[in-house]
Amino acid sequence: MKFEDIDLIPALQQITDIHTEHYKEDFELDRKLLQSLAASDYSEDKHLLWMSRPSGTYLLREREVYIEDTFENKTWEFYHDQTGDPILAYSVEITGTRDGTVIGNLIELDYAAHVDRMKQLTVEIDKAAVTFSDGSTYYLPFKTYRRDAAELEEAHGKICSVGFLPESEQELAMILRRERFKASYHAQPGNIEEHIHQLAVRHGKAEEMLEVLPLSAQTAYNEVKEAHPDSIVCFAQNGYFEIYGEDAKKAAPVLGSKLLTKELEGCGKVSVTGFRQEQWVAKAKKLWERGNDVYLTQAGPDGKQEVVKDLRAEDFIPVSMVMGMDGKTVRVESVDFAANDVRLTDITDPKQPRTIHEAPAIVRLYVEEAPTENLWAALDRKHGNDQPQHSVLAKLKRCKAEAEKDAPKPKLEKKPKSKEMEI
């Protein structure tokens, strides 16, 4: 995410308060450095990298991060290579001051990916620019600058500052320009207040804020729920699949998610839980393997609701299905999700059938390995061939049969008996 034209110091202070547990006072150094660099006329002083760690913070000039063996370069690498600390990292651009505040832009970074890429782009140091108390500056070979500078202190006073110059300033400038452009181009505009709130939620320091459910969404959801009254309906909203009402109360313990309250446009409230849209495969399976029908839906390009997935509990382990299991042939007799039990009959020897009990999760593994025809046969027996079938597998079977029926039959051409006849 990219956050533009913001008051930098309060934003970074809030992130520090949320993520940094120890040595929060490090940010006072960052604050002073931001204020001093905001007054600088040197353009590279406006581009910085900042990290918040569980134990402290760092604000570093971006230019020096990309020069090998500098303090900034080694510091930015260290917490990636030598620790497993969770790091929040940002690119910081100072754009000016306003009423005494430092204004600029923040871009959220993937710290690990940024370090890996930075390592490939660093340039070597050629010289050190050493400035002394009398104002004189000497450009000394990097490998010997400490010894050389010490010898110059007697004549020119104490060392005031040290800067590092790469072998090719042009190459470094090109790298920095390209990396800044890419970071800004690929970042999506965001709201800094929302970003900070989400960080607080993730760290357990704030409650999730939920947007009001619009009337149009309420109508769309109600239509879906009426069509699938026995399913846990997962309704796509604002990057989440949300689950409402009694479905939410049923789903929350299974998902390990919070049960919250959502405002409804017009009036009223409803219980809600859910999960991020990109997590739907794993989360839907969790609900499904507990014996629930699960229906996921989202708005299509035309605004109408589209099915993402329709999972039926009967498809998880179909009763009467015959399959192989640890070298035996077994038949599913009953499934009790509440008791976490599947009753099977070992029919390897039809003359000596034997009852077996196993957990649903284990049996499901063998269901997935079994031929699809075995699943279809079990569903046919369950519903009867003359009964409408609503399960996912039944739908697949019907679609396959219809496709084969409607497919044009290839025309058979009579082959000539000889090459002469063909001519």
Give 249 or 387, the one with higher predicted confidence.
Answer: 249
SS3 state of residue 395: helix
Q: How far apart are CA 280 and CA 236, in angstroms?
A: 10
Whether residue 411 is contained in a domain is answered as: no
- Give the pTM: 0.54
**Averaged pLDDT for residues 184-188:** 89
Give the alpha-carbon dihedral of 60, 63, 69, 73, to 10 degrees. Answer: 40
pLDDT category, 10, cuts 50, 70, 90?
A: very high
Domain boundary among 280, 311, 342: 311
Whether residue 407 is contained in a domain is answered as: no
The angle, 0 to 180 degrees and rounded to 10, between the axes of the packed helices 26-38 and 8-19 is 160
188 shares a domain with 82: yes
118 shares a domain with 159: no
48 shares a domain with 146: no
Domain boundary among 108, 140, 166: 166
134 shares a domain with 93: no
Whether residue 419 is contained in a domain is answered as: no
Cβ contact 17:25 at 8 Å: no
Q: Which residues contact 292 (CB under 8 A, 6 or more apart)?
A: 231, 232, 250, 251, 254, 313
Kindly give the pairing relationship between strand 293-299 and strand 231-237. Answer: parallel
195 shares a domain with 176: yes
Q: How far apart are CA 295 and CA 390, in angstroms?
A: 12
**Averaged pLDDT for residues 269-295:** 91
90 shares a domain with 47: yes
Whether residue 54 is contained in a domain is answered as: yes
Backbone angles phi, psi at 239, to 5 degrees: 85, 5
Cβ contact 244:271 at 8 Å: yes
275 shares a domain with 183: no
SS3 state of residue 138: strand
How many separate domains does the chain show? 4
pLDDT score for 251: 95
| Residue range(s) defining the domain that contains residue 79 | 2-123+169-202
Cβ contact 316:359 at 8 Å: no
292 shares a domain with 182: no
**Averaged pLDDT for residues 137-144:** 93
